[in-house]
Amino acid sequence: MTEQIKNEAINEDNEITYGREIVVYINDKPVKVKKLGLLTYAKMTGSLKSLITSVLEIVEMDQPLLSLNKVTEDDENIPPDDKIGAFAEIIASLVEKNIEQVIALLDIAVPELGREYIGNEVGLDDTLVLLDAIIKVNNITKVVSDGKKFIQSLMGTPEMD
């Protein structure tokens, strides 16, 4: 599950940037995760929207479970097994309700693996490796940050980080 980064560099803002692809290893097989074009992003929109909606529904539904993570005066009264059980339930809900969207998203972003292989051979740990590579090579963090700034400038509102 190591990754080999091609063309990693530091830009003038002292940020790490990546080339057009990152090679990760999934089940000991090298897999190229490439920068996505605009048409590919458009294909992912449906899966991404569905995934985000489902995650928000689960978070809203399981608000009492999520509150177990907050530090409160009663924190010492919540048994550790209850916290672990609550988080396990949330993760199980996310996987159960979103697996098709995750598979579709990975199939679009990393087509060389194929939908069937992703569904049957790619584990949760591999999924995280792939998502991390997709985020890095496409510079998603910077895109989101710059997108917020762009929208704020269009709306004439002050920048907020």
Please, what is the average pLDDT of the chain? 76
More confident residue, 39 or 70: 39
Q: What angle do CA 127, 131, 135 make, to 5 degrees?
A: 170
H-helix segments, the chain: 38-61, 63-66, 80-109, 115-121, 124-137, 140-155
Structural domain boundaries, residue 137:
3-155
The alpha carbon dihedral of 52, 57, 60, 64 has a sign of negative
Note whether residue 109 is domain-resident. Answer: yes
Note whether residue 120 is domain-resident. Answer: yes
pLDDT at 2: 46
Note whether residue 160 is domain-resident. Answer: no
Check: pTM over 0.75? Answer yes or no: no
Note whether residue 15 is domain-resident. Answer: yes
Number of domains in the chain: 1
Q: What percent of the chain is modeled with pLDDT above 90?
A: 22
Q: The tokens of 97 are what?
A: 């309700």
Note whether residue 61 is domain-resident. Answer: yes
CA 141 remoteness from chain centre: 11
Note whether residue 161 is domain-resident. Answer: no
Give the pLDDT band (50/70/90) at residue 122. very high
Note whether residue 26 is domain-resident. Answer: yes
